[in-house]
Amino acid sequence: MNFKGKTAVVTGASSGIGKEVALSLASKGCEVCCLDINDEGLKVAEQITSQGFRACFYHVDLTIEDDVNSSIEDILIKKNKIDILVHSAGISTKCNLKDLTLDTWNKTININLTSTFLITKAVSRVMIDQNYGRIVIISSGSAITGTGGGPHYAASKAGQIGLTRSLSNELAKHNITVNAIGPRSIDTPLLDKLYGEDYKKDVIKRIPLGRMGTAKDVSELVIFLVSDESSFITGQFILVDGGRTFSN
């Protein structure tokens, strides 16, 4: 797949899945605009350009509408179009219902779900005008299992699936596809921070393919879904879990 001449916006590009997606799209010829509140995203953009590809970085708080809109407006001015959006930004914290505070609930919903609404709204306006677009939202297997993180996390990720399906219906007439991916059991820095090595050793026993997933496993699916080869696929939620979720 060749993405030469296309422009992509990748959120959460500073690490994990977002970083892998940004690097992969760039290696295939796409110009990548990395959006993140974490300035490590600048290093990812610099890594891409050092390899002879094209990238830029925007420091953006994706929960603030003015931040989101101004970054997308600037990208449009400089690049003239946005062909691809991969929304990977998000947080995960472990907390049960008894200990869950309203502040934690609101923070998680804002960062995981409200940001999805704001970035897709801003980018879809561009895509509607150009009558073309590919949107992929990185959700989570927790959206359907209810496990991992807690009720606040599962609810925020389930909301992303509902938004995906609504947007896919509304935007289809503009030649825009919208899909969501549900990573589960993916070996990323965030998973290490939350669970550690003992968890990974235990969970591998419940994965039919016998290993943890990688950011590259998720990125490969993203690449397909944002390519023209996937033009008849929209409104879908696809698990990337090594067969774990429905193995029993």
DSSP label at residue 127: H
Q: In what order do the strands lie in the sheet with 237-240?
A: 55-59, 31-36, 7-11, 84-87, 133-138, 176-183, 237-240
- Nearest to 85, CA basis, from 31, 192, 152, 8: 8
Contacts of residue 115, Cβ cutoff 8 Å, sequence gap at least 6: 11, 62, 63, 68, 87, 89, 90
Report how far residue 110's alpha carbon sits from residue 174's, in angstroms, rounded to the nearest whole number.
Answer: 28
CA dihedral for 41, 46, 49, 50, sign (positive or negative):
negative
H helix intervals, the chain: 16-27, 40-50, 65-79, 102-109, 115-130, 142-145, 151-171, 189-194, 197-204, 215-225
Residue 58 appears among annotated catalytic residues = no
Report how far residue 202's alpha carbon sits from residue 8's, in angstroms, rounded to the nearest whole number.
Answer: 37
Which of 132, 153, 195, 199 is an active site residue? 153
Active site residue ranges: 153
